[in-house]
């Protein structure tokens, strides 16, 4: 009988998102999303992303290595 919030699925893994971590399902997925940010896979025109810093972050954050 418990009501579940109508949150969209996690954009990272597709599982039901949690209110606590939305729009993600967990902190891990949020971190993965952040890693993609730094890797330059995301293009957000409204945000300034220094391309020179991008390379530095790519070395520190490797989302693919987090899987498992
Ligand atoms: Zn997820």
Angle at 48 between CA 53 and CA 50, to 5 degrees: 20
Return per-residue pLDDT of the chain as tens, 68 residues.
667 657 899 999 999 999 999 999 999 999 999 888 878 765 656 656 666 655 665 566 566 766 56
CA dist 28 to 17, 21, 41, 48, 66, Å?
12, 9, 18, 24, 8
Q: How far apart are CA 23 and CA 30, in angstroms?
A: 8
Q: Which residues contact 65 (CB under 8 A, 6 or more apart)?
A: none
Binding site as annotated, residues for Zn(2+): 10, 13, 25, 29
Domain CATH number, residue 46? 3.30.50
- Going from the Cα of 68 to the center of ligand 1, the distance in angstroms, rounded, reads 13
Query: Is there a domain that residue 4 lies in?
Result: no
Q: Which domain holds residue 46?
A: 9-62
> For residue 2, which phi and psi values (nearest 5 degrees)?
-70, 135
pTM: 0.48
Centroid of ligand 1 to alpha carbon of 64 (angstroms): 14
Any domain includes 23: yes
Q: Give residue for tokens 């969209």.
A: 8
């Amino acid at each position: 009988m418990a009501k579940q919030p109508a949150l969209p699925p996690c954009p990272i893994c597709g599982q039901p998102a949690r209110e606590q971590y939305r729009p993600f399902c967990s902190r891990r997925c949020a971190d993965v999303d952040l890693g993609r940010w730094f890797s330059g896979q995301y293009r957000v025109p409204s945000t300034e992303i220094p391309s020179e810093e991008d390379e530095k972050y790519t070395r520190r954050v490797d989302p693919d290595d987090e899987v498992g």
